[in-house]
Amino acid sequence: MSDTIERIKQQISENPILLYMKGSPKLPQCGFSSQASQAVMACGERFAFVDILQNPDIRAELPKYANWPTFPQLWINGELIGGCDIIVEMYQKGELKPLIEEAAKAAAQDS
């Protein structure tokens, strides 16, 4: 298995809420990443992110590992939640916030 896949697995396992995106939440580099990070930020919990533009190896390998072709990708508790459309839709339906709050609460109890 490649070092990149190992790094992706480690990032996903170490961060209960992880957003792979283009740019950063404060300075997103594409509209989809902007919408996704805004929805996650609106849930009010701290989350990790990886800027795939700074990590071309992850950008190349993650779609194969996740079996999901596009970015952004939101991972919660080691599970791929989905991309921009799914994230925004879940946020609008009120499904994203409890999921994120639960992951943050569980992480706080573990530490």
Q: Pick from 79, 90, 83, 76: which is nearest to 32 by CA?
A: 83
Binding residues for glutathione are: 22, 59, 71, 84-85
State how far the Cα of 53 lies from the Cα of 24, in Å rounded to an integer. Answer: 10
Q: Half-sphere exposure of residue 29, counting CA atoms within 13 Å on the CB side?
A: 12
Binding residues for [2Fe-2S] cluster are: 30
State how far the Cα of 97 lies from the Cα of 45, in Å rounded to an integer. Answer: 9
Binding residues are: 22, 30, 59, 71, 84-85
Secondary structure E strands in 7-109? 17-21, 48-51, 73-76, 79-82
